[in-house]
Amino acid sequence: DGGITQSPKYLFRKEGQNVTLSCEQNLNHDAMYWYRQDPGQGLRLIYYSQIVNDFQKGDIAEGYSVSREKKESFPLTVTSAQKNPTAFYLCASKYSGGVNNEQFFGPGTRLTVL
């Protein structure tokens, strides 16, 4: 089955710790994205990557870092510099060619800072 996987589903972190959220896709999509969703707010873009070894900051990149060493993988690190990290994190991907611009989402990771 083709799709996007995220792990873990739930993650608990102590203040001051860095954590890395996994995102993997086997859809052969070129572009990958990270969003966070907070209650009552729309999804906000953290980072995105259109090709391997390249990525750009989104609207709320402070306190986060990413890497794109493989086409299939786009891990997100939530650092201790992120002041309010508790949120629902969603990874998405899309094919960059053609006219369709739909993004497809993974099941998400719920991060809670204790």
Q: Which lies closer to another protein via its Cβ, residue 85 or residue 108?
A: 108
Smallest gap from Cβ 100 to another protein, in A, equals: 8
The answer to whether 107 contacts another protein (rule: CB under 8 A) is yes
Smallest gap from Cβ 75 to another protein, in A, equals: 18
Smallest gap from Cβ 102 to another protein, in A, equals: 5
- Tell me which of 64, 106, 111, 113 binds another protein, using CB under 8 A: 106
d(CA 71, CA 88): 23
Amino acid at 50: Q
Site string for another protein, 6-45 (x = CB under 8 A): -------------------------x---x----xxxxxx
The DSSP secondary-structure symbol of 97 reads S
Radius of gyration of the chain (CA): 13
d(CA 103, CA 93): 5
Q: Which helix (H) or strand (E) holds 4?
A: strand 4-7
Instruction: Using alpha carbons, list the distances in angstroms from residue 47 to 61, 98, 105, 114.
Output: 6, 22, 14, 25
Interface residue list for another protein (CB under 8 A): 31, 35, 40-45, 48, 50, 58, 88, 90, 100-108, 110
